[in-house]
Structure 1
Amino acid sequence: MHPLFHYIIKHVSTLISKEEFRVLRSHFIQKKIRKKQYLLQEGEICKYFAFIVKGAMRQYYIDEKGFERIVNLYTENGWAGDHESFVMFTPSIYHIDAWEDCEVLLITRESLLKLCRECPAFNEFLLKLDERNNIAAQKRITSISFTAEKRYKCFVRDYPRLVNRFPQHIIASYLGITKDTLSRVRKKALKK
């Protein structure tokens, strides 16, 4: 069984029947995305959401000074895409690219909606995923007022799998601090 389906079954209370499994599988497109290749670029409409089977991706925008500002970091068993663009069919302000070589399963908005109607277990899975994403977004907004040290501590606690997958400058941008500040915070944390 494919990792996506293990992941979905793990996160829903109902078991997926053989028929639901067949329906579920039929809505996804397998694709490999090479390191530095884009899933989405600014100005495009997000036509696919990607379930990451293998690899790591980042979502970012370019600010008015030309600096990359990291919005999200994704690894295995994560979903990558611009939710607003995907739902509203508007041009994205984000870039999403592969930080490592990736294997993904893609789904279109049309297939997603159809799958939700055909497979109650998948619909339940999406509701739980939305709940988790909303909680994570609230935590991220709240963390803006935290010190750099507390932001990093929360990041390590909440996303330990990301700490060694991305370099310091990417993590620093995600946290909204400079690379030098992150370096000082990490050294201080190691001394404790």
Structure 2
Amino acid sequence: MENFIDYILQFGHLNKQQVALITSKAKEVSFQKDAYFSEAGKIPKQVGFVIEGVFRGCYYNNLGDEITRCFISENSLMSDYINFEANTASSEYIQACTDSKIIVFSKESWEELSQTIVGWDTMKNKMVQLCMYQKSRSNPVISQDATTRYLEFMDNHPTLINRIPLNYIASYLGITQQSLSRIRKNIS
């Protein structure tokens, strides 16, 4: 919980009572590898903060291929926030790539914080903007060759390389797992 409070305090000031209220509304939950935090076709009902582990945002394209859009690791907010706020069904999945621990807020608890804590909406908006930015900026540039994409991935996500399955990295890079294996072999 301490990591989450430190994370929030980057975006504004809270007194002890406000921190206690936030802590009382949060619940720590464990996720097994491959479990879903959020699923396509369902309305997202929670906001999470990753304490330990890695998640991925993914969807299926019109050919039925699974596409990994982003990775979400420790000390990051996690939510399909647009659908969470609009109370509409998601078109993407958020899935655990590793066994993970997260802090979860239900929709009711998240909204109660907005109604109770002065300035929470401003802090929340900054957290959500960072979350959305991290999800959008992490997409590889498909016009680059596959080796360049992989090298960039290694630079941008050095801690993920040995923590998540290669098929997820290949999906994220827009290449086959065999191509990724070849690239890894050639650069090592």
> How far apart, CA to CA, are the structure 1 residues paired with 2:155 and 2:124?
24
Q: Select between 166-175 and 176-185 the one with higher mean Cα deviation.
A: 176-185
Residues 66-111 of structure 1, C-alpha deviation per residue, up to 9 Å, x if partnerless? Answer: 3321122222222332222212211111222222222221113343
Task: Give 2:8's aligned residue.
Answer: 8
Overall identity of the aligned pairs, in %:
28
CA 1:73–1:137: 2 relative to 1, 3 Å:
closer
Matched ranges for 1:139-154 at <5 A: 139-140=137-138, 143-154=141-152
Residues 147-182 of structure 1, C-alpha deviation per residue, up to 9 Å, x if partnerless? Answer: 222222221122212111112111010121222222
Contact 2:97 2:165 in 1 (8 A): no
> How far apart, CA to CA, are the structure 2 residues paired with 1:71 and 1:91?
18
Contact 1:49 1:108 in 2 (8 A): yes
CA 1:157–1:123: 2 relative to 1, 3 Å:
farther
In structure 2, give the amino acid aligned to 1:2.
Answer: E
In structure 2, give the amino acid aligned to 1:166.
Answer: I
Q: Select between 72-81 and 138-147 the one with higher mean Cα deviation.
A: 138-147
Contact 1:61 1:69 in 2 (8 A): yes
RMSD between superposed Cα atoms in Å: 2.6
Distance apart, 1:117 and its partner CA: 5.2
CA 1:152–1:93: 2 relative to 1, 3 Å:
same
User: What's the secondary structure of 1:36's corresponding residue?
Assistant: coil
Please, which runs of 5 or more residues in structure 1 have no aligned partner? none
Residue 55 of structure 2 corresponds to residue 82 of structure 1: no
Task: Give 1:179's aligned residue.
Answer: 177
> How far apart, CA to CA, are the structure 1 residues paired with 2:131 and 2:46?
18
Which TM-score applies when normalising by structure 1?
A: 0.80
Residue 47 of structure 2 corresponds to residue 28 of structure 1: no
> How far apart, CA to CA, are the structure 1 residues paired with 2:52 and 2:138?
25
Q: Select between 119-128 and 155-164 the one with higher mean Cα deviation.
A: 119-128
Residues 112-163 of structure 1, C-alpha deviation per residue, up to 9 Å, x if partnerless? Answer: 3442454467555544434444544553457233222222222112221211
Residues 17-49 of structure 1, C-alpha deviation per residue, up to 9 Å, x if partnerless? Answer: 211211221221222222332222221100001
Higher normalized helix content (fraction of residues): 1
Task: Give 1:164's aligned residue.
Answer: 162
Moved beyond 6 Å, runs of 4+: none
Residue 47 of structure 2 corresponds to residue 49 of structure 1: yes
Please, which runs of 5 or more residues in structure 2 have no aligned partner? none
Which TM-score applies when normalising by structure 2?
A: 0.82
